[in-house]
Each structure stands twice: as structure tokens, then as C-alpha cells.
Chain A
Amino acid sequence: MARATRRPLRLAANLGGLVVFLLCAFPVYWMVNSSLLPRNRIRNPEPSWVPLGGTFDNYRRVFDTGRFFDAMQMSLMVTLLTVLVVLVFAFLAAVAVSRFRFRGRTSFVVTLLVIQMIPVEGLFISQYKMLEGLALLNTVLGLTIVYVASVLPFTIWTLRGFVAGVPYELEEAAMMDGCTRVQAFRRVTFPLLAPGLVATGVFGFIQAWNEFTLAVVVMTREESKTLPLWLSIFTDVNRGTDWGAIMAGSTLIAIPVVLFFLLVQGRMVAGLTAGAVKG
């Protein structure tokens, strides 16, 4: 829908666009800017708009004090384990749903849809009790179990779209040329699916990496905090909050996520749309 636009409307749209850009980007800029400012310029009634003559002291403080690397290690372990398990489980389920017709298929798809609407806040009490009973509170395995369940439905939903996007006719043709069904799937469909798998994997990574609610519930001990919890603990220091260090910590957490996100965003939207198509 690219249509000719009258001039006043275009001018208003462009001005509005600039305002929106500022509102969106300023907080992000302010985070990076503040993370580079020395203490006396942060605690100053007159804001410093550009980090000219800035320092990396805030970053040094984050690395030295606090438990940044412990938290990062915890986050990495939980996130990578979650993504690995989710990708395998979701891939198998997505193939079942989009390549086979079987009794209960529609109910399964509807269940996925419904599960995504269940708020974790409605379940975390009994998830906590369950993990407590299994002695899995404050463990990588415990948090991974609840993360897998919360990332899985969405991943199956999206992967389903990617699998359905690879025409079955291609597999059929390969089978006619003498491949077995498994070979046809592995040589024809799987390579075409790889970008979709990467995209959904990265998206799962972002979800688990950013997750806060379940982490608060499951990781109650200081030494088992993941990065998001570590950061909010940092914030809690109310006596003269060290905003420089907090902004440095936020920047460190945000950078990988933002990069990953920019990488897969387009593909995820495409996959989502495909997943929403009847099938």
C-alpha cells in the first residue's frame, strides 16, 4: 500500500516519526551514555548529554564487585540448556503436526494456543512447590525445566509454520528419485529448515536470557541468581544508588540480546505469520 500522499500529511507524518524515534531511542542512548560517565557527572543536577571524556570505570566496577560473572555463567547454562532441549522437542513436534494427519492433531494445536495464554503468574506457586519437593530450587536443572515448558509452545507454534513452508512435493520428488522418507527429509527438507531453526533458537535464547519472573521464584539464593536478578539486586541498593554501574550492567546485558534480536526479527515475523496460517 504505497500510495501518493498529500504534502501536509506527509510533513506531519515525518515530524511525528522524528518524535517517535527520539522517544524510542533516547532511553537506550541514555543507558549507554550514563554507563560511560564518571560519578561526579552522573550525580550532577545538570545532565551530561554526551559522554565526552567518559571512562570505563563503571564497567570495571561491575566486573570487580557484584557477582557479574557468576550470574552470567548461571544465565548461560540455563539458557543454552533450555534452547537445546526446546529445539529438539519442538522440532519433532512441529514435524508431527505439519507433516502428518492424525487423531488429536487439531486438539494439540489448540492446546498450544491455549497454553500460551496461561500466565506463569497463575502457576508459579505450585511450580515452586514441585521444584522444592524435588530439591531442584536454586539449580540449573530446576529453572531449565520450567523454562522449557514456557518456551516450548511458542517454539512449536513457529516451527510449525517453517516446516509447513517447505513444500512436501520436494520430499515426494526426492522419494521418487529413490530416497527413503528419512533420507528425503534429511537431505531436502532439513537444509531448507535450518534458517528457521536458527531463528527460533535465537528467539528462545532471548526469551530465556531475559526471563525474570520464574527466575525470582526459583532462584532464591544469592549464589544462584541469573543476570536479570543480579541487575535488579544491584538496583536495590538504595543508599545513593550507583547509577553508573547499573547502567553499565544494563548495557552489558542488553548488547547480546539487541544484536541477536536484530538478527532474527524479520525471520521471526515471517515465521509467525506462516505459523498462523491455517494448517
Chain B
Amino acid sequence: MSHHAVPAPRPRRRSALPYGLLVPALVALAVALAYPLGRQVVLSFQEFGLAQQFGQPPAWVGLENYRALVTDGYLWTVVARSLAFCLANAALTMALGIGLALLMRHMAKPIRLLVQTGLLLAWAMPVVASLTVWQWLFDTQYGVVNWLLVRLGGDYQGHSWLLEPLSFFLVATIVVVWMSVPFVAFTVYAALMQVSDDLVESAEIDGANARQRLHHVVLPSVRPVLLIVGLLQVIWDLRVFTQIYVLQQAGGTTRDTNLLGTYIYRLGIGGGDFGTASAVALFMLALTVLITAPYVRAMLRQENG
């Protein structure tokens, strides 16, 4: 992030005013986030199934929900699948986004404008709209992708992309990456434009070749931006729900394609087992915190340093 100084807030005499200004926001967050979070912790220690839906009071079962989950092989399958999907998508998005940002510096101006327009379009598309278009592009009978692959000599006549878990995730990855690359490319490109020419030139004078300049001057100066953008990608790709849910509705095998988000949904809201679903959800929260903690610490160091 750029370093122009923002004037620090004035020290004022103690007053209740700032607290008063924060009250509405704090109340909203407490009602819709903090309370459900607390409630979810409670739920995760309770047996809360169909019987409770019909009025029976929930029974305390201690760690039973967690024990059942940890010993259930399926949970670990879903966790492993979610992590693999998250890392693959985040890595791919970052690589493509950074590569594109670096490339954009070398394009002729009209081409760069064209690329930026395309990226903006993809970025602006609502998730559900993109999902429907990509489904249509990958349609078994009349999809353009199959048409093209047949033309290229592939055996894709009437090929169904959502049936096989692996190709289901391939389609999901394409949609996710297509939607995420613009944000990375724009942010990194903006950061690259802030890198001073003098710095790069002096490295050149000192005898650094293009590769060395990239690795030792350019990339380190945009490191803070890469850090925050990378963190966001990991978080977003771990919690991916809409893409998987919609593609499952369109013909994926639920059990073979569940990621954490859809698993929680199917357990709780689909299956009525709110106790177990809460336990998985808290597990997912813990996982998010675990993965992002180093990033957050690095970012806080930057805020303070």
C-alpha cells in the first residue's frame, strides 16, 4: 500500500462521543455475528436433530458431535478436498494475476485498455450470471467447449463435464479463477505502477539483469500488496460455496463434490442435524484462523510498523 502520510487523528480530551458513534455498528455486529457465533458454540455441544426441530429440548452431549466428526472418514475427505481446491485455486489465481500484471506493463496502450476492459467485465459479472454462462459453455449437447474440442479432434461429442468429480472441479476452478484474476491483476498492476523508476534504474546501473531486478527490486516493493491479495484469495477460495452449490444443483454428485461450505449446508439446513453442522462450521472457522494467522500477524506488523 502507498505510504503517503495520513494525518494522525488529533488527541482530544476524553469524551463519550466516539463510543456513541460506534454504538449502531457494534449493535448490528453483535446481533448478527457475535450472538450467532456464541449460539453456534452452544449448538455444537448439543444433540439438535429432527426431534428438536419439533419441540423436544436439545440434549447436552458434550463433545459427542466432535467425536463423531473426527472419527468420520468423510469429514477428512471433505477437509482434504477443500484444502486442495483452495490452494490450487488461490495459487492459480495469484500466478495468473501477477503474470498478467507484469505483462500489462509491456503492452501497447490500446491493447492494455482492451485487456483492462475485459478484466473489468469479468470482474463485474454477478456470480450467478457467470455460473450460468459457464454452464452453458460447458453444456453437454450444445456447449461451445465441446464443439471446439470436437473440432480439435477430441472425443467430446456429448461429453458431460459435471458427472465426474475431477472434471466437476475443473469447471468450478475455471469459473472461480475467471472471476478472481481481475481483482489480483488490477491490484498488483496498480502497485507495480507505484514502484519508482529510479529504484529499478539504479539496480540496472548496478548491473542487475531483468530477472534479478524483478526478484530483488520490483517484487519486494509490492510484497505488502501481494500479501493481502494472497490472503484474500485463500480465504475466499476456502469458503467457496455458491459455485459448488449451483454446479451441484446442475448435475454434480453431491457426496463426491462437497466442500466444507456445502457439507455444512447439507448437514444442517438440508438434513436438519444442526448440532453436527455447527461442529463442522466451527471446525471450518478454526481452520480459517489457523491458515490465515501468519498472514494476519504479518499485516498487523505492517499496520504498526
A277–B111 touching, CB < 8 Å: no
Q: How far is the CA of A274 from the CA of B7 in the complex (A)?
A: 12
Given the contacts A45-B142, A149-B31, A128 and B129 also touching, CB distance less than 8 Å = no
B129–A31 touching, CB < 8 Å: yes
Is B71 an interface position by the 8 A CB rule?
A: no
- Against B, the Cβ 8 Å flags (1 = close, 0 = not) of A112-141 are 011101111111111111100000000000
Q: How far is the CA of A125 from the CA of B126 in the complex (A)?
A: 25
Given the contacts A31-B129, A278-B6, A152 and B22 also touching, CB distance less than 8 Å = no
Given the contacts A27-B130, A118-B285, A10 and B108 also touching, CB distance less than 8 Å = yes
> Which residues of chain A have C-beta atoms less than 8 A from B32's C-beta?
127, 145-146, 148-150
Q: How far is the CA of A114 from the CA of B289 in the complex (A)?
A: 9
Given the contacts A113-B296, A129-B274, A47 and B147 also touching, CB distance less than 8 Å = yes
B235–A117 touching, CB < 8 Å: yes
Shortest Cβ distance from A258 into B: residue: B124
Given the contacts A127-B32, A129-B274, A149-B31, A28 and B121 also touching, CB distance less than 8 Å = yes
B115–A17 touching, CB < 8 Å: yes
B114–A18 touching, CB < 8 Å: yes
Size range of the chain B interface in the assembly: 35 or more
A93–B22 touching, CB < 8 Å: yes
Shortest Cβ distance from B148 into A: residue: A47
B285–A130 touching, CB < 8 Å: no
Interface of A is mostly: helix
Residue with the greatest number of chain B CB neighbours at <10 A, chosen from A145, A213, A274? A213
Q: Which of A118, A217, A249, A273 contacts B33 (CB 8 A)?
A: A118
> Which residues of chain A have C-beta atoms less than 8 A from B118's C-beta?
20-25
> Which residues of chain A have C-beta atoms less than 8 A from B50's C-beta?
none
> Which residues of chain A have C-beta atoms less than 8 A from B265's C-beta?
121, 124, 216-217
Is B193 an interface position by the 8 A CB rule?
A: yes
Q: How far is the CA of A13 from the CA of B189 in the complex (A)?
A: 14
Which of B61-69, B72-80, B163-171, B237-245 binds A? Answer: B237-245
Q: Which of A28, A92, A168 contacts B22 (CB 8 A)?
A: A92
B6–A164 touching, CB < 8 Å: yes
> Which residues of chain A have C-beta atoms less than 8 A from B105's C-beta?
1-3, 5
In the complex, how many residue pairs between chain A and chain B have their CB atoms under 8 Å apart?
331
Q: How far is the CA of A258 from the CA of B11 in the complex (A)?
A: 43
Shortest Cβ distance from B243 into A: residue: A212
Residue with the greatest number of chain B CB neighbours at <10 A, chosen from A153, A156, A228? A228
A235–B10 touching, CB < 8 Å: no
B200–A127 touching, CB < 8 Å: no
Given the contacts A21-B117, A126-B278, A235-B249, A9 and B106 also touching, CB distance less than 8 Å = yes
Is B208 an interface position by the 8 A CB rule?
A: no
> Which residues of chain B have C-beta atoms less than 8 A from A36's C-beta?
none
> Which residues of chain A have C-beta atoms less than 8 A from B136's C-beta?
30-31, 34, 243, 246-247
Q: How far is the CA of A269 from the CA of B123 in the complex (A)?
A: 13
A167–B246 touching, CB < 8 Å: no
Is A74 an interface position by the 8 A CB rule?
A: no
Shortest Cβ distance from A260 into B: residue: B124
Beyond A20-B118, A105-B18, 16 extra complex contacts between A and B, CB < 8 Å: A13-B103, A21-B114, A25-B121, A45-B142, A96-B19, A100-B21, A101-B9, A114-B296, A117-B289, A126-B39, A217-B265, A235-B249, A258-B125, A261-B120, A273-B190, A277-B4
Residues of B within 8 A of A (CB): 1-4, 6-12, 14-15, 17-19, 21-22, 24-25, 28-29, 31-33, 35-37, 39-40, 43, 100, 103-108, 111-112, 114-115, 117-137, 139, 141-142, 144, 147, 178, 182, 186-187, 190, 192-193, 195-197, 200, 218, 228, 231, 235, 238-239, 241-242, 245-246, 249-251, 260-261, 264-265, 268-269, 274, 277-278, 281-282, 284-285, 288-289, 292, 296, 299-300, 303-304
The contact sample of 29 A-B pairs, CB cut-off 8 A, is: A1-B196, A10-B106, A20-B115, A21-B115, A27-B178, A30-B144, A31-B129, A96-B22, A99-B9, A100-B15, A102-B18, A102-B19, A110-B300, A113-B299, A117-B288, A117-B296, A119-B239, A119-B284, A121-B281, A123-B37, A125-B43, A126-B40, A130-B36, A145-B32, A228-B127, A249-B132, A258-B124, A273-B2, A278-B304
